[in-house]
Amino acid sequence: MENTPGVLRYAAFSTTPNGGNPAGLVLDAGHLDDAGMLAVAAAVGYAETAFVTEQGVDGDPRRSRVRYFSPIAEVPFCGHATIALAVALSERDGAGSFTFDTPPDRSQRNRKGCGRRRPAPDASFPNTRSAADRPDRDRPARRRAVRGVQPGQRRRMRPAVAQRR
């Protein structure tokens, strides 16, 4: 394949390179068409690969357009690849907020410091499911009851981290 971009390999939701959810990342995919991104994702072989198709959207150096491909098709969004992308960009560009324009929604990612260890990303993700995908409106209440979480109460989750593979 001509003009093959550099692919980074990260593991999201892990403190070690061998754990977590692996994701491929291409930080400069502006020259790739759909077929090219699909070919790269297939060569990487992970569930998803994130492609930064445009950097500096609307003149903001920390805002990028991002697309996601599995080895067989484009996917609308991938949380673990987005976490890994935020980590890779913050390693390259420094900690702070990043905005990713994704096909279904505009999302914000922020890297916050967490003591002396590597900074952990703090992310807000778009809702990629429609009401039609969730016909059982009582399901969230049942999930909270099973987990022991009362209505209006939030569970504290461990920070999502990623490691270069």
Active site residues: 48
- Rounded to whole angstroms, how far apart are CA atoms 11 and 45? 14
Closest among 136, 165, 140, 137 to 155, alpha carbons compared: 140
Task: Identify the bridge partners of residue 68 per DSSP, sorted by sequence position.
Answer: 50, 75
Task: Identify the bridge partners of residue 163 per DSSP, sorted by sequence position.
Answer: 11
Pairing of the two strands 21-26 and 49-55: parallel
How many other CB atoms are there within 10 angstroms of residue 128's CB atom?
A: 16
